[in-house]
């Protein structure tokens, strides 16, 4: 059984809804899965998990939330080499540039992006929640 961490930050609840769907998908696929927010996760925990889903909405000028999530993610970066990960998040403006930049950062860190990232505009609809469940299932494989 694989062990999955779903690590996210949510300001409005949209990314939290996505995280819940990722967690559901991982559990449906038979993984031992748990969700964490930046105040309950640290880079030291990365090695305890077979795969990690990171979720963060677009903030400011299409960037990661910079007071809680980005510092945590930066701390995790040195431990991402070879780690199976997936990314998800919501946005309210722009075209998803924050996610493309985040994916590029993860590639430079030599993380293994196991599936396409999931993004949604504002609150996730049923199809986006289903895409998050599939992301969770992919992490569990």
Domain boundaries, the chain: 3-140
Asked whether 79 and 47 are in contact (CB, 8 A), the reply is: yes
Residues sharing a CB contact under 8 Å with residue 116, sequence separation 6 or more, in sequence order: none
Percent of the chain residues topping a pLDDT of 90:
94
pLDDT, mean of residues 27-31: 98
Which CATH number applies to 3-140: 3.30.930.10, 3.40.50.300, 3.40.50.360, 3.20.20.70?
A: 3.40.50.360
Give CA–CA dist 62/112, Å, rounded: 23
What is residue 93's DSSP assignment? S
Q: Is the pTM of this model over 0.75?
A: yes
| Secondary structure class of 37 (helix, strand, coil) | coil
Q: How far apart are the first and last CA of the chain?
A: 9
pLDDT, mean of residues 98-119: 97
pLDDT reading at 108 higher than 90: yes
């Amino acid at each position: 059984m694989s062990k999955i961490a779903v690590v996210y930050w949510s300001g409005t609840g949209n990314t939290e809804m996505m995280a819940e769907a990722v967690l559901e998908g991982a559990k449906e696929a038979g993984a031992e899965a748990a969700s964490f927010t930046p105040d309950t996760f640290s880079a030291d925990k990365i090695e305890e998990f077979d795969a990690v889903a990171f979720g963060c909405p677009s903030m400011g000028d299409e960037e990661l939330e910079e007071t809680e999530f980005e510092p945590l993610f930066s701390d995790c970066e040195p431990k991402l080499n070879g780690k199976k990960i997936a990314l998800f998040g919501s946005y309210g403006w722009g075209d998803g540039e924050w996610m493309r930049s985040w994916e590029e950062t993860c590639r430079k860190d030599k993380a293994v992006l196991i599936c396409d990232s999931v993004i949604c505009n504002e609150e996730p609809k049923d199809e986006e929640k289903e895409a998050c469940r599939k992301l969770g299932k992919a992490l569990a494989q």
